[in-house]
Amino acid sequence: MEEMTEWKKMRSGIVYDWTDLEIDRSLTRSRLACERFNRSGIDHEDYREALENMIPGVPRSVTILPPFHCDHGNGLHLGEGVFVNYNGTFLDAADITIGSRTLIGPNCSLYTPQHPIDYLQRRKTLESAFPIRIGEDCWLGGNVTVCPGVTIGDRTVIGAGSVVTHDIPSDSLAAGNPCRVIRSLT
């Protein structure tokens, strides 16, 4: 059996070396694309081209307000009509999938990478990454942080300032640190 590349390990939730050359090239490409996007601004004529360069395959109906930062861009999968307000940070070492018509408030952070708990392992250039999935028609208030491996169901509202550390079901109003379901929206 062929040995997996560090890139494939990264996208598969397996411990990987983040200093790998292929990963480094992707990070560099993304940093440059983010810099261009953030200089562009939503009202500039090159906004859409800069957005599509930063996030390949992004639907034309998606709006992201700069500044915005991502690790790779190619791990972001955004549905139609997604809106991301100012200061989004989406670290997409693993895939981040956001369903159609979802609204992301200002200063929201979606983190897929996870460093080792053991300090000796943390001294190495190793980490793992776990995908984040956010359903359709969701709303994340300002300053929400979503941790690695979390799924948020369809039509769910996450209150401002929440830290989402575990899955939240569809049709829920949830808030807090750690985020918990307050009530059903059905």
Quote the radius of gyration of the chain (alpha carbons, Å).
Answer: 17
44 an active-site residue?
no
Distances (CA, A) of 128 to 37, 48, 172, 177: 28, 32, 29, 23
Active-site residue among 44, 77, 115, 166? Answer: 115
Distances (CA, A) of 166 to 25, 45, 108, 127, 140: 32, 40, 16, 19, 15
Contacts of residues 146-149 at CB distance under 8 Å and 24 or more positions apart, as own/partner, are 146/108, 146/109, 146/110, 146/111, 147/111, 148/94, 148/111, 148/112, 148/113, 148/114, 149/112, 149/114
Q: In this structure, are residues 60 and 79 in contact, taking their beta carbons and an 8 Å threshold?
A: no
Tokens of 103: 């609204």
Catalytic residues, by residue number, are 115
